[in-house]
Structure 1
Amino acid sequence: MSYVSEVLEELIRKNPGEKEFHQAATEVLTTLEPVIEKNPQFQKAALLERLVEPERQLKFRVPWVDDKGNVQVNVGYRVEFNSAIGPYKGGLRFHPSVNIGIIKFLGFEQIFKNSLTGLPIGGGKGGSDFDPKGKSDNEVMAFCQSFMTELYRHIGADTDVPAGDIGVGGREIGYLYGQYKRITNRYESVLTGKGLTYGGSLARKEATGYGLVYITAEMLRAHNDTLAGKKVVVSGSGNVAIYATEKAQQLGAKVVALSDSNGWIYDEEGIDLALVKEIKEVRRGRIKEYVQTRTNAEYHEGKGIWTIPCDVALPCATQNELNGDDARTLIKNGVLAVAEGANMPSTLEATEEFLKNKIMYIPGKAANAGGVATSALEMSQNAQRLSWSFEEVDQKLQGIMVNIYRQISEAAAAYDAPGNFVLGANIAGFLKVANAMMDQGIV
């Protein structure tokens, strides 16, 4: 049995039932075999065993009082996975599906994503099974204050810097930051995604979606093609999907579909983004409301968005939303490129289908790194007490995404797998972290 197989077998044994974590680790480690063969010192130092074991896992009770005066109790998590190249950095997810396995999968992916940005940030992730949907502002504030009352003792500007993720937007970040400041009496860059009036960065809201499109455009450019005139399907209708749609439209693409957890819309004439923003950002409504105004558009309950023929597919909703059958349907319908705006939205079977059929395909750890990259830029601005213009941040973001494409393309070619950006992303992200770990000794 190979070293990688032994590590994976032990990981699964020690972390039973954490299928998303198993999947993420398997996808990364199996592509590292050629790197391990070239660097036997990694096995001698048990580097993979240390890499897959978080440096610290926190689980805590979060009690809060709802508007009816009833006491509610949720579970909070923070997994500080790897700090070899910088303080832990990664979002907080508030969603009923959250458990320790999902947080570990996200934190593990974050290690390599953060490495690819070229910025000095390690990997971490956190969250809770709390669902902010349907809650009043007072209830969300009560929960966030209780959550931070425990979390504050484990984070800091040079220790661990959380941000937003699913269910954690500007409202939640504001409540979390207010409580952190209240408890610690410190005004520091301990959270990113803050409001512009208290240390937030311009372009942070747009960054993940814009970055996704920038790297997609760069991939097409490297293959002598362009986004202009392409038919694009985007899953999701949250922050990432909205701003991926915006940037794709700015670059001349025609986005025809969006979705949420209930269903999906198809607008042959092209998505009316102003209407989507009104529904999702102002009213916090459901995507089905779109067809009440755009009567020529279609709304369909459930899954099926990947049956729409398109040139470019951008999955931006959640993990494992695109399976093997979906991938085969996209390929049959002529998809040219797939880039992931969500974290691990494609199953292992779907990934294999894309690679086998030579589809241009960039995994989330590379394609959606624009959000965390801009969070790190926010940390830099806070540290210097500066505020950069939208254009400055956007230019830096675009440069980072172009550089990520270069890294993953060069790594794939260096290991005799040109065009395999899954292998390229994993190897390029891994090597920087692995070398830092080796330099720092057995810690």
Structure 2
Amino acid sequence: MAAEPPKDRQAALYDELVRRNPGESEFHQAAHEVLDSLGPVFAAHPEYAEPGLVERLVEPERQIIFRVPWQDDRGRVQVARGFRVEFNSALGPYKGGLRFHPTVSLGVVKFLGFEQIFKNALTGLGIGGGKGGSDFDPRGRSDAEVMRFCQSFMTELHRHIGEHTDVPAGDIGVGAREIGYLFGQYRRITNRWEAGVLTGKGTAWGGSEGRTAATGYGSVLFAAEMLAARGQDLAGLTASVSGSGNVALYTIEKLSALGAHPVTCSDSQGCVVDEKGIDLELLRTVKEVERGRVSDYAERRGGSARFLPSGSVWDVPVDVAFPSATQNELGADDARALVRGGVRAVSEGANMPCTPEAVRVFQEAGVAFGPGKAANAGGVAVSALEMRQNASRESWGRERVAAELSVTMAGIHRVCHETAERFGRPGDYVTGANIAGFLRVADAMSAQGVV
């Protein structure tokens, strides 16, 4: 959905960005949100508004598009398109996932990479922002087909990545299987055991304990921090979660561990409402072992679970909500339904899952809203910790990683909360996250000259 351009200096920047990047609506939306937050910064510190700085920030340092030919099991040659947008390296090597999904386009990858700049900056861990992927769809493909695709994809991508240059990870459609095939081809081509070139690896060969859970866990920890800042507790609250992939599953797991009551999940065919609470073990079996649908979960769960093929998880009255599927999945009508149902906090597990109109509904209603660049930064934070372990040839236990994640998410909440107050927007985590991330990146860019 097209966003209304911000005012004054930001409006000129936004108009020029749209002119130079036609048709990339997701990128326009992500850039609009950040630019619209920078008015207080420009007013208090005019040097940040001087021509050149923000113009460089919204222009990727490098955009790579390439052909990915591969052969399916019937011997037919298929051709996909690969992308890697290396957006900003002022704070460290480019860092961001790879997404394999039919909806992947340059605009989608640029939106994700732009968000990644600020998300990574908020972790304080010295990583820049980038993103990549392909319009290849791994669903329904055999392991052999996925392997051949990944090998072809890495044959081109390997020229552009490295542990000190660009470190991809997983995202939608790219899990442990895909990372394994990608890493194997990188090692074969380069003749190097460069463990730090990819994160999300298997724990037996350089991966980090707790990485798989980190994004979902982090979004719950951020919600708990937002509630604590209001003198409230997550324990005993009902929760809606969208999606049924990695982020959603670990969001449900962490909610249950902290005493909350998650009652929904979903996929592209519909949603499930389970009044007794989601049975995580059954859902994992259906989704990860059998590669089934949430409708299969509802059928096997029995009377407490209802599958709604045309329903929405956001129609269920809950205390906290976790959009954890994909961008723009939660619109203004959904937000109003959640507000009517008494929602207290919303924490974005996915990247930009709430439309701008939905965000305004939450903010006007006084709902604590955690934007994705802050709330779901746990995944990239633990990826950066995986890079640290790879650099020192160490392997940390799950307890240490969990402790580091908890400290990092508390720190992200603190800097967002304090920055919002400092610039006159108390409780506005969107403004706090955007300004805090911007200042860290902008200061590094200014110190390094016009590059």
Name the TM-score, length of structure 1 as normaliser: 0.99
> 3-state SS of the aligned residue for 1:438?
helix
Is residue 324 from structure 1 mapped to residue 338 from structure 2 by the alignment? no
Counterpart CA distance in 1 for 2:291 and 2:443 is 45
Report deviation, 1:219.
1.2
Report deviation, 1:391.
0.1
Report deviation, 1:381.
0.3
Partner in structure 1 of residue 180 of structure 2: 174
| Alignment RMSD (CA, Å) | 0.8
**Which residue identity does 1:165 align to in structure 2?**
D
> 3-state SS of the aligned residue for 2:197?
coil
Partner in structure 2 of residue 102 of structure 1: 108
Pairing partner for 1:245 from 232, 237, 252 = 252
Partner in structure 2 of residue 386 of structure 1: 394
Q: Deviations over 1:79-118 (max 9, x none)?
A: 0000000000000000000000000000000000000001
Question: What percent identity do the matched residue pairs reach?
Answer: 61
Counterpart CA distance in 1 for 2:408 and 2:298 is 37
Report deviation, 1:38.
2.1
Q: Deviations over 1:5-29 (max 9, x none)?
A: 1110000011111000000000111
Q: Is the 2:41–2:48 contact (alpha carbons within 8 Å) kept by the matching residues of 1?
A: no
Report deviation, 1:2.
2.1
Is residue 369 from structure 1 mapped to residue 372 from structure 2 by the alignment? no
Q: How does 1:331-346 map onto structure 2 within 5 Å?
A: 331-346=339-354
Q: Deviations over 1:259-311 (max 9, x none)?
A: 01111001000100000110111111111110221111100113411000000
Q: Which moved more, 1:398-407 or 1:211-220?
A: 211-220
Partner in structure 1 of residue 155 of structure 2: 149
Counterpart CA distance in 2 for 1:395 and 1:74 is 40
> 3-state SS of the aligned residue for 1:162?
strand
Counterpart CA distance in 2 for 1:233 and 1:41 is 43
Q: Deviations over 1:201-260 (max 9, x none)?
A: 000011001111111111111111111110000000100000010010001001000001
Counterpart CA distance in 2 for 1:434 and 1:271 is 43
Is residue 196 from structure 1 mapped to residue 203 from structure 2 by the alignment? yes
Pairing partner for 1:354 from 346, 362, 376 = 362
Pairing partner for 2:16 from 6, 10, 26 = 10
Q: How does 1:19-418 map onto structure 2 within 5 Å?
A: 19-188=25-194, 189-296=196-303, 297-418=305-426
Count of paired positions: 443
Counterpart CA distance in 1 for 2:35 and 2:49 is 13
Q: Is the 2:119–2:377 contact (alpha carbons within 8 Å) kept by the matching residues of 1?
A: yes
Report deviation, 1:372.
0.2
> 3-state SS of the aligned residue for 1:57?
strand
Which runs of 4 or more aligned residues in structure 1 lie more than 6 Å from their structure 2 counterparts after TM superposition?
none
Counterpart CA distance in 2 for 1:80 and 1:45 is 22
Q: Deviations over 1:364-402 (max 9, x none)?
A: 000000000000000000000000000000000000000
Counterpart CA distance in 1 for 2:150 and 2:184 is 10
**Which residue identity does 1:252 align to in structure 2?**
G
Partner in structure 2 of residue 438 of structure 1: 446
Counterpart CA distance in 2 for 1:118 and 1:359 is 27
> 3-state SS of the aligned residue for 1:381?
helix
**Which residue identity does 1:299 align to in structure 2?**
F
**Which residue identity does 1:8 align to in structure 2?**
Y
Q: Which moved more, 1:137-146 or 1:298-307?
A: 298-307
Q: Deviations over 1:151-191 (max 9, x none)?
A: 00000000000000000000000000000000001111100
> 3-state SS of the aligned residue for 2:201?
coil
**Which residue identity does 2:67 align to in structure 1?**
R
Q: Which moved more, 1:288-297 or 1:101-110?
A: 288-297
> 3-state SS of the aligned residue for 1:417?
coil
Q: Is the 1:83–1:122 contact (alpha carbons within 8 Å) kept by the matching residues of 2?
A: yes
Report deviation, 1:65.
0.2
Counterpart CA distance in 2 for 1:302 and 1:47 is 46
Q: Is the 2:109–2:132 contact (alpha carbons within 8 Å) kept by the matching residues of 1?
A: yes
Report deviation, 1:42.
2.3
Q: Is the 1:412–1:421 contact (alpha carbons within 8 Å) kept by the matching residues of 2?
A: yes
Name the TM-score, length of structure 2 as normaliser: 0.97
> 3-state SS of the aligned residue for 1:166?
coil
Partner in structure 2 of residue 424 of structure 1: 432
Counterpart CA distance in 1 for 2:341 and 2:221 is 24
Q: Is the 1:117–1:373 contact (alpha carbons within 8 Å) kept by the matching residues of 2?
A: yes
Q: Which moved more, 1:354-363 or 1:151-160?
A: 354-363
> 3-state SS of the aligned residue for 2:263?
strand
Q: Is the 1:45–1:442 contact (alpha carbons within 8 Å) kept by the matching residues of 2?
A: no
Counterpart CA distance in 1 for 2:31 and 2:184 is 36
Structure 2 stretches of 5 or more lacking a match? 1-6
